[in-house]
Amino acid sequence: MSQFEIRAKDGLARLGRFETNHGTVTTPLLMPVVHPGKSEVTPSQLVSEFKFQMVITNAYIIKSTDRFRDAALDKGVHSLLNFSGPIMTDSGTFQMYTHGLPEGEIDPMDIVSFQRQIGSDVGTILDTFSDPYATWARVEQDVQVSTERARISIPVKGDMLLAGTVQGGIYPDLRIRAADEMAPLNIDVHPIGGLVPLMEQYRYADIVRATLAAKSHLPPQRPVHLFGCGHPMFFAQAVLMGCDLFDSASYAKFAESGRLLFPTGTVHLSDLRELPCECPACNSTTIDDLQRLDKAAQSLILTKHNLYVSAAEIRRVRQAIADGNLLELAALRARSHPALYEALDIFLEQIGNIESSAPSANAKSVFYTGPETARHPLLRTFQYRILERYPFRRTRMLVMVPDMGAKPFSETNQAIENEVKMRDPAEMLLFYVTPIGVVPWELEHVYPAQQTIFPASVDSECLTAAGESLTRLLSTMEFDDCMWVSRETPTNVLSAATGLSDRATKVSGVSELSQILPAASHPQLWQKRVIAGVCAFQWDVRDMDSFGLNELGITLSSSTGKIRHITRNGKVLFTLVPTNGLLTPTYDGGRLLLKSGLKDDYKVVVDDDAAPFVADGKSVMTKFVKWAGPHLMAGEEVLVVDSKGEFLGSGKAVLNGREMMAFRRGVAVIMRHSKKQPPVDYKEDDQESF
């Protein structure tokens, strides 16, 4: 069984660790393809100079060449390549396809056995490559053959990790079938095969459809390898789809034909007047000197350039996952070619059906990159939760304020906020109409309401999406009167787009609204309606009587005026995190959530053997998770209990519920507060109690 674990997530993208017999590597990673007899750059150079972690070579070429075969069988493939790190071997499937080799040229079981004998860390089954233009019936046969070959290969793999390739051509239903048939087998890695011709034809949209279809049906604890994905312009999108491993011979092939790889595309050396690159290979020469070199010397420099650029882009992708802005990077790369942008469009169209991270998974800003921002998974999840969970649906007065969110809402709407703070929700509700959709006043500080950065003008797709969000929410609301505060901002047009023109009274600005609003009949403590809104949004807790809201104390920061703590009897129950506007429970706060009827979706059950360690504050490891909510998202604040339901503590989910149940390695929940830790005392510092 492969030793794979996830350290961080950004949507479907995973920052992980993959353990092999020759070392542990960080994913996503790119494996340069190494020919055993003719590599301009040696495998050891790939590590020392270019910082690659793992390579891939071809077992068929080794086995069919006497001197390579004898050396590999005698001392192993690592000795053959003079490489001490992890090595993956391919079986020869692509060679059979490209060279038209006869069906019996390679024996499926023999080639897997050979890979084990030469000490490959990850061997590959001999699958059947499907031509992109093959009929559905022919591809179905290829899937059946590939699955059967995977099944018969498992008994001969020994302790070698085995890659079971998912075929299916351009047919998503066959990709799903192949993934479903591979899933129960004792496979360690899942390559998505048959994509090289699609890469060469810039059919990235077909690659996205095929990959997402397979990915959604593969076991989450196994790394996914996108076979033949070697161009840096596609790395960000491929990782965005949840792919973990890549291989590339492009760095050498493109160099041989005088082409330079960049994250923004391919450039022919003959078309350049300057070297637009800061890599060591390009910095060591000039365009004139490079063009005067003989072909071999020129090819070596271009090869090194391609390696430097590819390695840097993979590192850039890994950093983007850690920063939570991989989609923004992929969107920038998609501008490089219309086919890439089409592929991104397909991804965003389909991502809604696949689990992602929660809006609270990170608190980094979401930057507008174009029309695709309207379909950012974090923004869509945010709007979905508002639609499903916003607790206040009936009011006498609904006030709608268009806002671009360029500054905190309160900075430009203080007079309106002062009015709503004095009123019960049944008397008045305030909605901000923004480019990301509707933001109720109670949730104005919840990520990503004010962390999404838009330009002064917004494209029509974003406005349309925002209008649809407003229309859906309004269809669930009951109100007697509606006030629309007209302002010089792009979202002001949504008054007409949502049919509010005939129902809403338009007022020209905040000052006019303040003059016509009736006096508050029953002044309320605004902090409590904010807490009610956040609890509903975050945990779907709506029974505020069980929550005991009226008996709780609320403290504010004297410097910002925002809610800081929820307390009871001098003990902190919850802290409202300034960076994301959500609540983190202490141990006592977790007990209150359980008493309030918290749904199972936000609970993680651990094995009783691990319970004492979790109660001491140790992280919950995946191998001790007995059950996790199937709809739990990575990034959620969760409660951890033992098999009897005894509460052990609260923490932040690193994985989603499905992943917690599937992985046997890595952290599932980082504990914040636990049973045996002392309670958090409220200290009078810069806080004011209400």
pLDDT digits (tens, 9 = 90+) for 433-465: 999 999 999 999 999 998 899 999 999 999 999
Contacts of 615 (CB under 8 A, 6+ apart): 648, 649, 674, 675, 676
Task: Indicate the pTM of the whole model.
Answer: 0.93
The whole-number pLDDT of residue 82 equals: 94
The whole-number pLDDT of residue 688 equals: 44
Average pLDDT over residues 311-335: 96
Question: Exactly one of 10, 90, 244, 642 is catalytic; which is it?
Answer: 90
Q: What are phi and psi of 523, to 5 degrees?
A: -50, 135
Instruction: Give yes or no for residue 672 having a pLDDT over 70.
Output: yes
Position 498 confidence tier, pLDDT thresholds 50, 70, 90: confident
- Percent of the chain with pLDDT strictly greater than 70: 96
Residue 649 is classified by DSSP as E
Any catalytic annotation for residue 90? yes
pLDDT digits (tens, 9 = 90+) for 105-126: 999 999 999 999 999 999 999 9
Cis preceding linkage at 232, omega within 30 = no
Structural domains present in the chain:
3-351 (3.20.20.105), 361-516 (3.40.50.10630), 543-674 (2.30.130.10)
Average pLDDT over residues 298-322: 97
Q: Is 315 exposed, middle or buried (0-12, 13-18, 19+ CB in 10 A)?
A: middle
Beta-bridged to residue 664, according to DSSP, are none
User: What is the crossing angle of helices 108-117 and 136-153, to 10°?
Assistant: 40
Report the run of H or E that residue 557 belongs to, with start and end. strand 553-557
Q: How far apart are CA 477 and CA 394, in angstroms?
A: 6
Average pLDDT over residues 536-550: 90
The tokens describing 196, both together, are 């090289």
Task: Look over the chain and give the mean of its residue pLDDT values, rounded to a whole number.
Answer: 92
pLDDT digits (tens, 9 = 90+) for 564-622: 999 998 899 999 998 899 999 999 999 999 999 899 999 999 999 999 999 999 999 99
The whole-number pLDDT of residue 278 equals: 94
pLDDT digits (tens, 9 = 90+) for 11-65: 899 999 999 999 999 999 999 999 998 878 999 999 999 999 999 999 999 999 9
Instruction: Give yes or no for residue 238 having a pLDDT over 90.
Output: yes
The whole-number pLDDT of residue 84 equals: 95
Report the run of H or E that residue 419 belongs to, with start and end. helix 414-421
Position 291 confidence tier, pLDDT thresholds 50, 70, 90: very high
Report the run of H or E that residue 265 belongs to, with start and end. strand 265-268
Average pLDDT over residues 402-414: 83
User: What is the crossing angle of helices 326-334 and 338-350, to 10°?
Assistant: 140
Secondary structure string (H, E, C) spanning 352-388: HHCCCECHHHCCCCEECCCHHHHHCHHHHHHHHHHHH
- Percent of the chain with pLDDT strictly greater than 90: 79
Q: Is 244 exposed, middle or buried (0-12, 13-18, 19+ CB in 10 A)?
A: buried
